[in-house]
Structures are given as structure tokens and as C-alpha cells.
Amino acid sequence: METIFRNLGWLLASRGINALLSLVYLALTTRTLGLENFGYFTLIVVLAQALAGFVSFNGWQAVVRWGVESAAARTATGFALALDISSIFVGVFLALGLTALASYWLPLPDTLFWPTFGLCAATIVAIRSTPTGVLRLYERYDLAAKADAVLPVTRAIGAGLAALFAPSVTGFIVAWAIAELACAAAFWKYSARYVSIGLPDISLKRLPEQQPDVWQFILGTSLSRTLAVISKQCMILLVGALGGATLAGGYRVASQLGQALVQLGEALSRAIYPEFVKTKDAAIVLSNKITLLCLMTGAVAIPVAYWGGEWAIRLLAGPEFVFVHSAMVILACAGALELLAANWESLLVAKHKAITPFLLRIAPLILVIAAMQSLIANWQLDGAAAGILMMSALSSFGLGLAVSRQQRDQHPPTADMFEAQ
């Protein structure tokens, strides 16, 4: 637990900086651009993030899992880098095609084609799964936190400059593209201190020859990542396609303020996954302790969103965005459930069951996508948020059952799921 809390501390420090500065550039973008233009900006940023999420792999988990032995570190890192390079080549071509067609399925004007493609390309080129895995392999979460902080710091500075000298959607898009590239450069700078690889090490064949289950593992974790992208970024695109740019912008504000717990969940999963891999048989006991911590965190965060959310929206985004408050509270509830899910999903992946979280998430996702048009038509933003809550509830319930079943397989039937010992 001490190692987890130390690693989690660095990750939360990074996330804390990110959260604080994200409020700064949220205020700058919403107040500078207004409802409709902020909606355009939101759709472009989310499209770039969604594309990067679709084409990239969770190579960092392969580095952590198979790079533990020093002799295998270069092989695992070279494999992850080969995955990233493949993702970049495929992603840039895919970005060109999707942005050319974006105006047909998203409420984006044709004049924003080049800014949209530029940000998509920059976000894909800035894929940093490999250096992230190297830093986690060597437990340099302090350096990872410093590199991660480059993104929000550069965004905040860029947003300030854009608000002063280029108060337009394009101005903010340029700032976001520069921030992505700067963050990737910082990760590579720090990771180069620990693993040095040459061209022969960059291979998609060497690691699978030594570890036959590599591709099954990569497929399972990457499918789960793809579902996470669909459930977050692609949901905003769906809201924009069905409800317009203004509704998409409102959803973005509600999501950023209400689902801060999702960021905590992502930090938690990244911190505990290496420990689950190392502890093996004691991983379930460790997961039970983390579950109690998650429950307490959610119990605090939801009331804060309910009573303090409207004040925060007025202060940061302005009174024209107050209509998102109820959706923000609903998304805070969904974030609390995702915090639990992140813990259980990491445990299942560490136990070589990477495909299980994918299967447990895809059914609720399909259900919500099918219902989203009706939800938005009847309840607007609150309906979209309720769909996300339903999806998180079903996914968390399934993951909890899967972990409970695994615990019963390893312990006597009388063992309690939340038992500390």
C-alpha cells in the first residue's frame, strides 16, 4: 500500500495541476468563445482525442508486464514503440479522411477543416504510451508527473495568449496542438534516461516470439481502451451530432466539472496496475482496500457537486452555462461509479483477464448508444448524462461481480468482498 500511495501521490499531483489549470483554460475558452464557438472548439478537441484513442494501443502495460526483467526491458519497449509508430501512420491518414467528412456528420463549418486536421495530426503524433510505460516500469512516477504537467501548463499559457491575441476557435486549437507535442517531448526526454533502444529493437515480432500471449493481452487491453474512448469522447461527438454544437459545449462543461472523479480513477488504475502485477496472490486483498477508499471518495464528491456545482459554473464558465448544473451532478454520480470500475478493471487485467472488462463494458455501451437519440430528444443534456450514468452503473456492477467471483475461486466461500485480510 505504501508504494501505491507514493505512486498515486505523484499521479494525483499531476492530476491536481491538470484539474486546477483546466479550470483556468475552461474559463478562458468559454468566456472568450461563447456558447456556439465553444461548442465548435469542443467538437474539434474531442474528435482529435477520440482518433488518438482509437488508433493507439495500451503499449505501456506491455512494457510494465514484460519489462520487469532488465534483459527484457529493451524488447518490451521496442515492441511498444513499434505499436506507437504504426498507430501514428494509420492515424494521420485516418484523420485526413475523417476531418474531410466531419462537416457531414458534425455541426462544424468547412472553414475549420485545417485547424481540425492539424489538431488531430498533432494529437496522434504525440501518442506517448511507450515512454509512459518506461517511467512506470522504473517507478519514476515523479518524472511522469512532471512530464504530464507540461500539457496543462502549456494549454493554460496558450489559452491566455489566444484570448489576448487570437480570440477565435483557431487560436485555441493552435495552443492545444502545441501543448500535445510539448508534453510528448517531455515524456521522451525523461524516459530516454532509463531505456536506450536502437532500430533492431523496434519490432512487432521479437516480444511475441518470446511471449506467445502478447497479442491477446494487447487486444484485450486495447479493446477496453477503445470502449473508454467511445464512452467519453465519442459520447460528446454523439451529443453534438444529435443536439448541435451548443449542447456539445454544455456537455463538455458539465463533464469536465462533474467527472473529475474519472480522472482520479484513471490515475488510480495507472498507479495500482503495476502493484497488482507484482503482488499477484495478494492483489485481491489490495483491491478490497482500494474499493473502500473509492467508496469514501465518491461519498464526498457527489454532495460537493450538488451544492457547489452551480456556483462553480457561474464563476468559471459564466451564467449562460448554468443550465448544465443538473447534468453535472448526474455525471458526478457516474464518475463515482467509474472510480470503483477502474480499480476492478485493473485487477482483472493484472490477473490475465484483459478481455473480461471489454465484454462487461460493451453491452451497456451499445444499449446507451441506441437510446441516446431518444434520451436527448426528451431530456436534452440531462438525458445524455443519465445515459452515461446508466452505462457506468451497469459496467461497474458487472466488473464487481467478476472480481467477487474471482475472489470466491481463490478464498473460502465465507470470504467477504470488502474484507481487509
Band (420; pLDDT cuts 50, 70, 90) = very low
Q: Is the pLDDT of residue 419 over 60?
A: no
Residue type for position 296: M
Average pLDDT over residues 394-408: 87
Among residues 368, 88, 362, the alpha carbon closest in space to that of 220 is found at 362
> What pLDDT sits at residue 421?
40
Residue 40 · residue 108 · CB < 8 Å = yes
C-alpha 6/C-alpha 18 separation (Å) is 18
Q: What is the pLDDT of residue 417?
A: 39
pLDDT the model gives residue 411? 59
Q: Which residue from 120, 134, 142, 102 is spatially nearest to 9, judged by alpha carbons? A: 142
- Taking the C-alpha atoms of residue 183 and residue 153, their distance in angstroms, rounded to an integer, is 10
Q: Which three cell numbers stand for residue 385?
A: 448524462
Size of the chain in residues:
421
The three cell numbers locating residue 258: 462533474
3-state DSSP assignment of residue 252: helix
pLDDT value at 277 more than 60 = no
- For residue 412, the one-letter residue type is P
CA–CA separation, 246 and 55 (whole Å): 28
User: If pLDDT is split at 50, 70 and 90, which confidence band does 406 have?
Assistant: confident
Q: What is the pLDDT of residues 284-293, one digit of tens each?
A: 667 777 777 7
Residues 332 and 258: beta-carbon distance below 8 Å: yes
Q: What is the DSSP string of 271-329?
A: HHHHHHHHHGGGHHHHHHHHHHHHHHHHHHHHHHHHHHHHHHHHHHT-GGGGGGHHHHH
Instruction: Note if the pTM is more than 0.95.
Output: no
SS3 for 62-90, per residue?
HHHHHCCCHHHHHHHHHHHHHHHHHHHHH
Q: What are the pLDDT digits (tens) for 192-208?
A: 998 888 888 899 999 99
What local confidence, expressed as pLDDT, does residue 183 receive?
97
Phi, psi of 179 (to 5 degrees): -65, -40
Q: Which three cell numbers stand for residue 33?
A: 468563445
Chain segment 65-87, per-residue pLDDT in tens = 888 765 688 899 999 999 999 99
The answer to whether residues 89 and 126 touch, using CB atoms and an 8 Å cutoff, is: no
The Cα–Cα gap between 288 and 416 comes to: 9
Nearest to 316 by CA among 114, 112, 21: 21
pLDDT score at 418: 41
Using pLDDT thresholds of 50, 70 and 90, give the confidence band for residue 23. confident
Q: How far apart are alpha carbons 36 and 96 in whole angstroms?
A: 24
Other C-beta atoms lying within 10 Å of the C-beta of residue 226 = 21
Q: Say what the pLDDT of residue 266 is.
A: 56
Q: Residue 245 in contact with residue 39, Cβ under 8 Å?
A: yes
Contacts of 375 (CB under 8 A, 6+ apart): 383, 384, 386, 387
* 4-8, 82-86, 182-186, range with the lowest pLDDT: 4-8
2 compared with 331, residue with greater pLDDT: 331
- Residues whose CB falls within 8 Å of the CB of residue 295, separated by 6 or more in sequence, listed in order: 340
